[in-house]
Amino acid sequence: MTDGNPDSDGLVVAAFGNRGRLETAEGETLPYLLKGRRLKAVCGDRVQWKQPPQSHEALITDILSRENALQRFDPKGRVEIIAANLTQLMVVLAPTPEPDLFLADRFLCAATLMDCNPVVVCNKTDLQHNDALRAALDEYRQLGYVVVQTCAEPGGNVADLTSLLTGHTSMLVGQSGVGKSSLINALVGDAAAAVGALSDASAEGKHTTSATIMHRLADGTRLIDSPGVREFVPNISASSEVQLGFPEIVALADRCRFANCQHLREPDCAVKQATADGDLSPRRYASYKRMKNITASGSV
Ligand SMILES: Nc1nc2c(ncn2[C@@H]2O[C@H](COP(=O)(O)OP(=O)(O)OP(=O)(O)O)[C@@H](O)[C@H]2O)c(=O)[nH]1
Ligand SMILES: [Mg+2]
Ligand SMILES: [Zn+2]
């Protein structure tokens, strides 16, 4: 700071390389540029910024330390931070596209490990749910996850989702086409134009979200839209942490013979026993083993 003015507080609502948009303390949205190559901002970052003379862009001078961050390994095995300072991760599923429950499990695990509420949102209630999806939702409920049903079509029901959002910074994640942006449009109202304008028309002529963008409800509640993914490899520092994302495994682990049991090949493992006895879902146990594998190798 050379001009003697203190820098202002801001919130990054969209980040693209070293540029993006920030929201000022007064609620105005400005384009920004990052100062220097060292700073890397992501959606949800709290920042300090100033307005250089003769520039239409705010200059971000500092990024405040993050309370948490959603991180993944990119296809090249590098850690990528997707968004910061989240309090809730809404994993959106739908009857179409065909649900990838392993992907949902990985997001739920990441949410727990980053200390943010995991929520399962099943969208498109107007469409027929097949038995596999219904069973998966029941399973998530039995495991203690909050599961809400929504319909983002005009006049559809988003009330259960709305009541979970108040006061939170929630990010919607999931496969492409499950209806994340449609839900945000149904919830935010005025954001509809912004979402449309920030979407790319893909080859099929569908609007698919290409960036992680934060929206705000009238009461200040924050909602983050994100591009759909086929894969998500959470950045889990130690493979032994994977089980923390599986509450049913945590609940059994005390009964394994070894305190550091990984529930893979060890003898007298209560988790393997429970799976064999039909007390633990074979799908979830398979999901646990897959996640152990991908976090060990950094790829799927
Ligand atoms: N029947 C039905 N269709 C829906 C519902 N919600 C969204 N859709 C449709 O599903 C398609 C995909 O919706 P989007 O909101 O673009 O999905 P998205 O999850 O944001 O997709 P990406 O941005 O590619 O990740 C669109 O054709 C929507 O009209 C719903 O509740 N019911
Ligand atoms: Mg979208
Ligand atoms: Zn075990």
pTM score, whole prediction: 0.93
The domain defined by 239-297 folds into Ribonucleotide Reductase Protein R1; domain 1 (1.10.40)
Q: Return the pLDDT at 12.
A: 98
pLDDT above 60 (res 270): yes
Dihedral pair phi/psi, residue 173, rounded to 5°: -130, 160
Distances (CA, A) of 190 to 70, 76, 167, 198, 210: 27, 38, 19, 14, 19
- CATH number for the 69-225 domain, one of 3.40.50.300, 3.30.420.40, 3.90.280.10, 3.90.1150.10? 3.40.50.300
Give the closest residue (by CA) to ligand 1 atom 2: 124
Quick one: average pLDDT of 50-77? 93
Quick one: average pLDDT of 112-124? 97
pLDDT above 80 (res 48): yes
Q: Return the pLDDT at 193.
A: 39
The model's pLDDT over 211-257, given as tens digits with 9 standing for 90+, comes to: 899 999 888 899 999 999 999 999 887 888 999 999 999 999 999 99
Q: Return the pLDDT at 298.
A: 55
pLDDT above 50 (res 203): no
Ligand whose nearest atom lies closest to the CA of 97? 1
Cβ < 6 Å from ligand 1: which residues?
123-124, 126-127, 151-153, 156, 176-182, 207-209, 227-228
pLDDT above 90 (res 40): yes
Left if phi > 0, otherwise alpha if psi is -120 to 50, otherwise beta: which for 34? beta
Q: Return the pLDDT at 199.
A: 44
Rounded to the nearest whole angstrom, what is the distance from the C-alpha of residue 277 to the centroid of ligand 2?
41
- The larger pLDDT score, comparing residue 46 to residue 205, is at 46
Q: Where are the domains of the chain?
A: 8-63, 69-225, 239-297
Cα–Cα distance, 231 to 61 (Å, whole number): 33
User: What CATH architecture does domain 8-63 belong to?
Assistant: Beta Barrel (2.40)
Ligand whose nearest atom lies closest to the CA of 92? 1
What is the DSSP secondary structure assignment for residue 243, as one 8-state letter? G
If one residue of 151, 182, 188 were mutated to test the ligand 1 pocket, choosing by the most ligand atoms within 8 A of its CB, it would be 182
Cα–Cα distance, 211 to 216 (Å, whole number): 16
Distances (CA, A) of 48 to 16, 22, 83, 279: 18, 10, 17, 52
As a whole-number percent, the residues of the chain with pLDDT over 70 amount to 91
Instruction: Give the highest mean pLDDT range of 125-129, 201-205, 267-271.
Output: 267-271
Cα–Cα distance, 14 to 213 (Å, whole number): 5
| CA-closest candidate to residue 19, choices 58, 53, 50 | 58
Quick one: average pLDDT of 29-53? 94
Q: Per-residue confidence at 75, pLDDT binned at 50, 70, 90?
A: confident
Cα–Cα distance, 183 to 160 (Å, whole number): 12
Q: Return the pLDDT at 202.
A: 45
> Minimum mean pLDDT among 53-57, 197-201, 289-293, 296-300: which range?
197-201
Q: Return the pLDDT at 160.
A: 94
| CA-closest candidate to residue 15, choices 43, 34, 53 | 43
Rounded to the nearest whole angstrom, what is the distance from the C-alpha of residue 133 to the centroid of ligand 1?
17
Quick one: average pLDDT of 99-118? 96
The residue assigned the tokens 């879902």 is 281
The model's pLDDT over 277-300, given as tens digits with 9 standing for 90+, comes to: 999 999 999 999 999 988 766 555
| 249-277 CB burial, b ≥16 within 10 A, e <16 | beebbeebeeeebbbeeeeebbbbebbee
Please, is 238 exposed, middle or buried when counting C-beta atoms within 10 Å of its C-beta (0-12, 13-18, 19+)? Answer: exposed
